[in-house]
Chain A
């Protein structure tokens, strides 16, 4: 695999994902140090609202709404989904109490990864591999030689494409599991 795909695309993606994990751990640590653990308990609410807000882009993409710039909405989608996921991760607080909310958290994590792969890596990587192919062809390499040269990049691209495909199904799973968690909280917790 050429180092450029790794350095230019996969590394920034890993950094952004790593930042999510680091920010979640740091947030949890700070809340514990400041004796504000109870705040984490309520962070699930704004986190969920942000994730719901991020779906405006999905509605726009499927033309269920017609106003708004898709480009701006995509940026909004990426930002609010990342921030909302961060809040939900801090809310989960790395305490294992029940299976359902943890399945929801895992589904959310997979959803974030697939989303980042799809929007941060896939298009750019596709262009990158295509550019590499054209570059090798211009050098006069035969088709099998070109495919040999871009083999690992092509494998990475295929893997990313597969990740992209799970974005919607895993979001549905996340939504249903999160809904189950929210309903159970409303049902058993004293809100009034």
Chain B
């Protein structure tokens, strides 16, 4: 390699090294910072600890947990909060980088808008409606709580519950949720919430057929069709008769 070439090579690399220190955000930064942190773009160590990555402790020097979602870092009330409810105060740990990434190049590898509910305090984790608004459809308007019986905390859809697998809501059973599910507990039900079925007439009809066990209606009846009877104690579509010999 000629001396001129060596000199040119060294000179170019030195210029590049200088540029790295003068413009670190352009030379080595993995993409643009979020607009709120634009003023920090050439001050990498405002957020990064050497060899340890982005450091949540450094975030907290500006973002006080008790003020997140309520006040700006300048102490002014937030005019348009990103979430309806301030929830950072209810986190079990202040691990900012578990959810937040500020560089465009890093955000590309992360699922945006995905919140890990496991980071919430247990009581807050169950209080879905303190952050989420129930959908404005006929079904959800009747329900006020216990979202987790149908929905997981990973995704809202698909809901993990299919009512037809337990009982088909046909035209005779197009009832309000609370008719069968009382006390906002959708893991239990009663068939005696309407005028059609009473404990007395159900007992009479089943005893006449020799069926003594009739406390769990959907074990045999999966729809309002009286001929659609399956399973039950005997497993033959009929209840076990008292003298079944």
Q: Are A169 and B9 in touch, CB under 8 angstroms?
A: yes
Q: B29's contact among A41, A98, A180, A190, by CB below 8 Å, is which?
A: A98
- Which listed segment binds A: B48-56, B83-91, B157-165, B228-236? B48-56
Given contacts A37-B109, A188-B44, A189-B53, contact A169 B1 (CB under 8 A): yes
Report Cα–Cα, A100/B244, bound state, in Å: 85
Please pick, from A38, A99, A103, A190, the residue contacting B97 in the complex, using a CB distance under 8 A: A190
B105 within 8 A of partner (CB): yes
Bound together, the chains give a CA A97 to CA B106 distance in angstroms of: 9
Q: Is the CB of B109 within 8 A of A168?
A: no
Does the CB pair A187–B50 fall under 8 Å?
A: yes
Nearest chain A residue, comparing its CB with the CB of B8: A169
Distance, CA A158 to CA B115, complexed state (A):
61
Q: Using an 8 Å CB-CB cutoff, how does the interface string of B17-28 with A read, 1 for contact, 0 for none? A: 101100000111
Note all chain B residues with C-beta closer than 8 A to A191.
51, 53
Q: With a CB–CB cut-off of 8 A, which chain A residues contact B16?
A: 100, 103, 177, 180
The secondary structure that dominates the A interface is helix
Interface residues of A in 87-132 (CB under 8 A from B): 95, 97-101, 103
Interface residues of A in 149-192 (CB under 8 A from B): 168-169, 172-173, 176-177, 180-181, 184, 186-192
Chain A residues whose CB sits within 8 angstroms of the CB of B108 once the complex forms: 37, 95
A41 to B97, alpha carbons, bound, how many Å? 18
Which bucket holds chain B's interface residue count? 20 to 34
Residue contact A97 to B53, C-beta cutoff 8 Å? no
**Interface flag for B12 (CB, 8 Å):** yes
B54 in contact with A173 (CB, 8 Å)? no
Chain B residues within 8 Å of A177, by CB: 13, 16
Chain A residue with the shortest CB-CB distance to B48: A188
Task: From known contacts A38-B109, A98-B27, A99-B27, infer whether A180 and B104 are also in contact, taking CB-CB under 8 Å.
Answer: no
Q: How far is the CA of A169 from the CA of B26 in the complex (A)?
A: 25
**In whole angstroms, how far apart are the Cα atoms of A186 and B51 in the complex?**
6
Chain B residues, Cβ within 8 Å of A176:
13
Q: Is B30 interfacial (CB-CB < 8 Å)?
A: yes
Contact of A97 among B5, B44, B104 (CB under 8 A): B104
Q: In the complex, are the beta carbons of A190 and B28 less than 8 A apart?
A: no
CB proximity to A under 8 Å, residues B56-93? none
Q: Tell me the bound Cα distance from A176 to B6 in angstroms.
A: 14
A contact residues around B5 at 8 Å (CB) = 169
User: A172 CA to B97 CA in the complex, in Å?
Assistant: 36
* Most chain A beta-carbon contacts within 10 A, residue among B6, B12, B17, B30: B30
Which residues of A pack against B, CB within 8 Å? Answer: 37-38, 41, 95, 97-101, 103, 168-169, 172-173, 176-177, 180-181, 184, 186-192
